[in-house]
Amino acid sequence: MNTLKTNYRATIAHGILINCKAIAEATGIPSNDLVRTCLTQHEVDGKKVLGTKMDQATYEKYAVLLEKEINDITGVYSKLLHNRPKPDRISGRCYMNAYDEWKQTGNEPVIGFEAKFAGRFVSIVPHAFNIDKKGNCYDTANDYKCARIRPCWVRVSGKEAKDWLTVFAKHWKTGDMTLLKTIPVWTDVWGGLAVIVHSDNKAYLTRTFGLTDEHCDKECKYYKTLDYSTADSK
């Protein structure tokens, strides 16, 4: 039962419900309306697409303002993250995936953010991945159900990332919890950022600062509204 609860907390569906609740409490928008905005289906070229329709002009404003917002938080701009599945690499163990890939190929491990999409809902969370010799960002999980190419933001690289992952790998292999106390957790800026572009074409953002799903459940708070009709934020 605990495993099922943990797995559910890691799903996009759970993220949508938690964030809709936080936004509803802060703004007065009914939570069910926010959920429908994310999960209603429509058709594009005969294929079902999640989320209520969004016109191209709104989408373009959304992309530009969200990029600026994340740059304000992280200090970096997005890159494209590709998925190159490998055996025995599963989502949920991205730090070890990046570590193992580094040791196997020599490709630099980095730690940052990745974006996952579900309709008008975007979840931006900590993620570890690798950079190949040509400068391409990629990860190796073999069970992704999200987009195979998605935005990512590199936040920790070089010696700092390698040292962090080396200690984390020792913890992973030995179960020694004291090792985790010797590495930074970046809780001042890390955690999560979620975005719902509602049917009013305003984007409602939440933030969390914890490192676990339990933290996200308890600490998910409304952050701000980005108004795409005027390109202003408040």
200 or 158: which carries more pLDDT confidence? Answer: 158
Average pLDDT over residues 209-234: 66
**What is the domain extent for residue 84?**
2-233
Mean pLDDT of 132-139: 97
| Mean pLDDT lowest among 7-11, 89-93, 107-111 | 7-11
Element (H, E) at 38: helix 31-39
Contact 77, 148 (CB under 8 A): no
Query: Mean of the pLDDT values across residues 193-213?
Result: 82
Q: How confident is the model at residue 87 (pLDDT cuts 50, 70, 90)?
A: very high
Q: For the residues 95-103, what does the mean pLDDT come to?
A: 97
Beta strand segments in 8-120, E: 41-44, 47-50, 79-83, 108-118
Between 191 and 121, name the one with better pLDDT: 121
Of residues 232 and 120, more confidently modeled: 120
Average pLDDT over residues 88-99: 92
The domain tally of the chain equals 1
Q: What is the mean pLDDT of the chain?
A: 84
Instruction: Give 177-190 pLDDT, tens digit per residue.
Output: 999 888 877 655 67
pLDDT of residue 180: 82
- The pLDDT, as a whole number, for residue 98 is 97
Strands (E), the chain: 41-44, 47-50, 79-83, 108-118, 121-131, 137-139, 149-156, 192-197, 202-208, 221-227, 232-233
pLDDT for the residue numbered 213:
44
pLDDT tens-place string over residues 27-79: 999 999 999 998 888 777 778 877 788 888 888 888 888 899 899 888 999 99
Name the residue with tokens 């701000």. Answer: 224
d(C-alpha 63, C-alpha 68), whole Å: 9
Q: CA-based Rg of the chain, rounded to a whole angstrom?
A: 18
Q: What is the mean pLDDT of residues 144-173?
A: 90
| 97 has pLDDT over 90 | yes
| Cβ atoms of 124 and 115 closer than 8 Å | yes
Cα diameter, the chain: 54
Say how far apart CA 150 and CA 116 lie, in whole Å: 7
